[in-house]
Amino acid sequence: MESGASIPVVAPPWREVFRGRRGRLVAGLLLLEAIAAIQYLMIATIMPDIRRDLGMVQLYGLAFTASSLAMLGAIPIAGKAVDRFGPRRVLLQSLAFMAMGLLISATAVAMPVLLAGQFVMGAGGGGLYAFSIGTVAKTFPDRLRPRVLALFATMWILPGLVGPPVGALIAGTVGWRWAFVAPMPLLLVGWMLTGPAVDLVPPPQDVRTTLAPRWPLQLMFGAGLVFTSLTVVKWWAPILVITGGLIAWPALRQIVVPGTFRAAAGIPAAGASAFLLSFGFIASDSFLTLMLTRVRGLSLGMASIALTAATLLWSAGSAWQSGRTDRFSLPRLMQMGTVFIILGEAGVFATLWTAVPVVTAFVGWAFVGLGMGIAFPTPALATMQQAEEGHEGGQLSSVLLMDMVGVASGAGLGGGAIAVAKATHSSLSLGIGASYAMGFVALALLLVTAARMVARGTQPLHAQP
């Protein structure tokens, strides 16, 4: 065989993922992913009822921000804890945080108490996110990982279809508090499935991983100042944004893999790509229904069809991608997905002009869903492929954290653009258009950074056993 030649490996059948005790582990991980999806979608549905009972409408948006900020702090801590202590302890503690957050939220007597519950839930959710991805990296060979991540994506299909109506049904009958009680038995089932199978993960090595919780907590505090001030159009808001940035920036630099901010080849570029992808997507996704209802005059029910279609195509794109890693490199798949996203978001952007048929937005958002399905798993797969043995959790948590920062930045800066448009009495279309424009810039940069996700000399994924 010529030097450097590789033997193509046919994509493994789906049933291989579920063989033996490893199949039980997969089932448990999928259930945990489904729980996260159901809870997120149900809460988004019942928040108006919660606001009506608990009041303090000015804190409405913080119910979602609190959870996201907690995840920023929990992901890097949990990722390194998986390397140092093994996954079992991280799983148990994360489930305990989830259960505690659900209980606090279910018994909340005031909106600040509910925010505390959402914060605790976010900490548990961030821990489970890092646990799941770290476990996949440590347990499954390269050829099976794309299949497992594709299955994670499918766990959002059914919750996306039934989560909102079930949440509305619970809130309209027995009351919104029971929407927080309902998932608790599922957490126990998730432990019963996953807990006994985590011994498949290789035991921790003596990597002397340091957790240093100071930096995640500092990042969480600084990011909180930034993202809660971006939508406030007051003279003092820029001061808080700058102060928060000065607090968060050095913490983020300490947490992520060195070279991330210059997209150095390998894992650093994978982290940068994860940030740009999430930023580019969320800058449009956060305001899609707002544009369709307020600018184009559709009902919320009609607008939700675009979200449902995108969810289905996201899963289809992820399934397609998982069977093509034997033919295309991960950077190439990321670039392919990004092109679909750019084309789709261009269609959505065009419908800001009422002369453009509104169906263009629906077709465009379907393209976005397909592109995200292809692109979204690739930074994690590239990191798993290149991570040092015994350090997978910590290095993956760096990429997952950049993903979360991209989500928060896209939503925060987009919301700021809309807030400025409103304060200056400009049209809503101008504010939404500015958010879309920022997303386009991020996606254009992603086409460049994606090419650097896999360092030279790394064995191609399709050539690995």
Gyration radius from the chain CA atoms = 21
Domains 12-200 and 259-455 are alike in CATH topology: yes
* 144 phi and psi angles, rounded to 5 deg: -95, -20
Angle at 16 between CA 15 and CA 20, to 5 degrees: 100
CA distance 394 to 392: 6
Task: Give percent of the chain above pLDDT 70.
Answer: 90
The pair of structure tokens assigned to 21 is 């005790």
Cβ count within 10 A of residue 7: 8
Q: Is the dihedral of CA 290, 291, 297, 298 positive or negative?
A: negative
H helical segments located in 323-463: 330-350, 359-375, 378-386, 392-423, 428-449
Give me the pLDDT at residue 465, please: 42
Give me the pLDDT at residue 59, please: 63
Q: What is the CATH number of domain 12-200?
A: 1.20.1250.20
Q: CB-based contacts of 349: which residues, under 8 Å, 6+ apart?
A: 284, 433, 436, 440
Whether the pLDDT of residue 463 is over 80: the answer is no
Whether the pLDDT of residue 2 is over 60: the answer is no
Residue 460: DSSP 8-state = P
Angle at 377 between CA 32 and CA 43, to 5 degrees: 40
CA distance 441 to 283: 11
Question: Helix or strand or coil: residue 224?
Answer: helix
Residues 136-155: tens digit of each pLDDT: 988 888 888 998 998 888 88
pLDDT band at 61 (very low <50, low <70, confident <90, very high): low
The pair of structure tokens assigned to 212 is 């240093």
For domain 259-455, give the fold.
Growth Hormone; Chain: A; (1.20.1250)
Q: CB-based contacts of 181: which residues, under 8 Å, 6+ apart?
A: 102, 106
CA distance 337 to 231: 31
CA distance 226 to 132: 29
Closest CA to 108 of 27, 169, 47: 47
pLDDT band at 1 (very low <50, low <70, confident <90, very high): very low
Give me the pLDDT at residue 214, please: 87
As a dihedral over the C-alpha atoms of residue 247, residue 453, residue 133, residue 142, rounded to 10 degrees, the angle is -160
Residues 200-242: tens digit of each pLDDT: 887 776 556 666 788 999 999 999 899 888 777 788 888 999 9
Report for 231-235, 318-322, 408-412, 455-459: range of highest mean pLDDT: 318-322
The pair of structure tokens assigned to 431 is 């504010």
- Domain spans in the chain, listed from the N-terminal domain onward: 12-200, 212-255, 259-455
Angle at 84 between CA 78 and CA 85, to 5 degrees: 80
State which amino acid sits at residue 96.
Answer: A
CA distance 351 to 293: 12
Looking at per-residue pLDDT, the higher value among 118 and 340 belongs to 340
pLDDT band at 308 (very low <50, low <70, confident <90, very high): confident
Whether the pLDDT of residue 65 is over 70: the answer is yes
Helix orientation angle between 392-423 and 214-229, rounded to the nearest 10 degrees: 20
CA distance 92 to 222: 28
